[in-house]
Amino acid sequence: MLRASKSLLCALLADVSLASRQTGTVVNVIDSIGSLMQKHKSSANSAVDAKVLSNLRMLASITPGQSDSLNTALTKVIADITADVDSKIINGFAGTQSSINTKISDLDLQTKVAVEKKVAADNADTVWFNCVDKERELRINIEAANAAEISSRSNSLEACQVEEDSRGFEQSITLTKFTCDISQNQNCNEQVANYRTVVEGMVTLLTSDFEGAQKVHNDAHLACVASQDDLASKQSAHSDLQVDWNSKRSECRANHETRQVSMCTFGTSLQNKCTRKTAYDTLIAEVDMVNGGEHSQPDREQEWTTTSVTKCMLQKVIDGGAIDAATMDACHLDVKFATQVGVLDRQTTQYNALTTEDKFTCSETTISFAKTTQWNVPQDAEPASEDYTRTAFSPPVDLNEMAPPFSWCAGAAPPCVGKAC
């Protein structure tokens, strides 16, 4: 990063060259400055220093005794360095700080979006998971209702068969022949009375048997009707549950679509966040790079040191001071980049807060959602409840924004064992 240093050299070249044509030479002074700068322990960029010294030596043509012309030329060089070179360094520093602030602001915004979308995806995951759980529960209830219907139908058939079997009544009475010897018993009143008693006993017994059979049939009829009502109730309950299950299945499929889209939306927002993180990381790498680009902080600080020491030494020449190691050390001690230009705020605290695990580090290879397992939903028209199974769910994620974040986001089958869940 030699742009500012090059500006410095151009200023020296233009102004000092003019003075050199008008005056004489101060070779001893320039050589002393050059020797000191080459040997000074704080000189970190010898290439920059060498070019500066090369231009300083052009003062050698200045005629001794023409101090006013020399001082005028050197004063103008100092002013040009301050106006042109220092301002560029300061503006470059401000530009780097602005870039850092922008990168952090972008990262902050995209992190908030990613966190919000993750919450939405977790909610959608929970809704779908619970929906399928209810769908499976309805299959269990349907199976129980079906078993109850089968049992009720069997009971009804049995009860109604009892009614049918008790429908008829047949009973016979065998009367003995009535006889009476009128010659011996005259009017046979006693014999008639006895016979009537026997017949009445038989009729009473017949009536009792009929009434008993009637009660059995009536009870069987009531049982048959009750069993048929129970069967109708069981059939209705079974049918209602089937309707509920069909409705729930449609609801769960819609929920699954919402879940799928929500996860993809979150994945895209996470990719965007990680792209912003990479942009910040890249900028900071540029800031730390020696002999780097426009954002190189080491280069900027070295340029500031070079220009500051150069101005200081030139001022010493103007002031008539001694050009020696002590003067050079004093000039270096006066260079305080942090106070003269500023301290670069890398916003490390904010960056660290935005790259925690709960806000995503961008080193994730898999993502866990609200439910650590997902349903494998059977697609049969009448699936068994035991066919609803669960498997671990922590899908791989691709953080490259040029790729789908999750496999199903590219139009592949949703994450449900390859079935339209």
What confidence tens digit (pLDDT) does each residue in 2-13 have? 444 444 444 444
For residue 342, give every residue at least 6 positions away whose Cβ sits within 8 Å of its Cβ, in sequence order, or none: 93, 97
Q: Which tokens sit at 335?
A: 């260079």
pLDDT, mean of residues 345-357 = 97
Asked whether the beta carbons of 405 and 397 are under 8 A apart, the reply is yes
pLDDT in tens, 375-389: 999 999 999 999 999
81-112 burial: b if 16+ Cβ within 10 Å, else e: beeebbebbbebbeebbebbeebbebbbebbe
Q: Which amino acid is at 267?
A: G
Q: Where are the domains of the chain?
A: 3-140+251-410, 141-243
Distance CA 249, CA 204 (A): 67
pLDDT, mean of residues 326-338 = 89
Mean pLDDT score across all residues of the chain: 83
CA separation, residue 98 to residues 302, 304, 347, 380 (Å): 21, 19, 11, 60
Asked whether the beta carbons of 78 and 33 are under 8 A apart, the reply is no
Confidence of residue 36 (pLDDT cuts 50, 70, 90): low
- Identify which of 339, 90, 302, 1 has the alpha carbon closest to the alpha carbon of residue 98: 90
Q: Does residue 54 carry a pLDDT above 70?
A: no
Percent of the chain exceeding pLDDT 90 equals 51
Q: Write down the pTM of the prediction.
A: 0.75
Q: Does residue 26 carry a pLDDT above 50?
A: no
Is 405 buried (19+), middle (13-18) or exposed (0-12) by CB count in 10 A? buried
Q: What is the model's pLDDT at position 15?
A: 44
Confidence of residue 207 (pLDDT cuts 50, 70, 90): confident
Q: What is the model's pLDDT at position 184?
A: 76
Q: Does residue 230 carry a pLDDT above 70?
A: yes
Confidence of residue 68 (pLDDT cuts 50, 70, 90): low
Residues recorded for the chain:
421
pLDDT, mean of residues 194-213 = 84
- Identify which of 83, 139, 153 has the alpha carbon closest to the alpha carbon of residue 311: 83
Q: What is the model's pLDDT at position 21?
A: 38
- Identify which of 287, 352, 338, 290 has the alpha carbon closest to the alpha carbon of residue 95: 287
Distance CA 148, CA 144 (A): 6
Confidence of residue 405 (pLDDT cuts 50, 70, 90): very high
Q: Does residue 76 carry a pLDDT above 50?
A: yes
pLDDT, mean of residues 36-56 = 53
Q: Does residue 232 carry a pLDDT above 90?
A: yes
CA separation, residue 269 to residues 113, 243, 260, 298, 369 (Å): 7, 39, 14, 35, 15
41-50, 216-225, 365-374: range with lowest mean pLDDT: 41-50
Q: What is the model's pLDDT at position 115?
A: 98
Report which listed range, 174-188, 204-218, 395-409, is most confident. Answer: 395-409
Q: What is the model's pLDDT at position 59?
A: 37
Confidence of residue 39 (pLDDT cuts 50, 70, 90): low
Q: Is the model more confident about 165 or about 34?
A: 165
Q: Which amino acid is at 211?
A: E
pLDDT, mean of residues 69-75 = 77
229-243, 263-277, 309-323: range with lowest mean pLDDT: 309-323
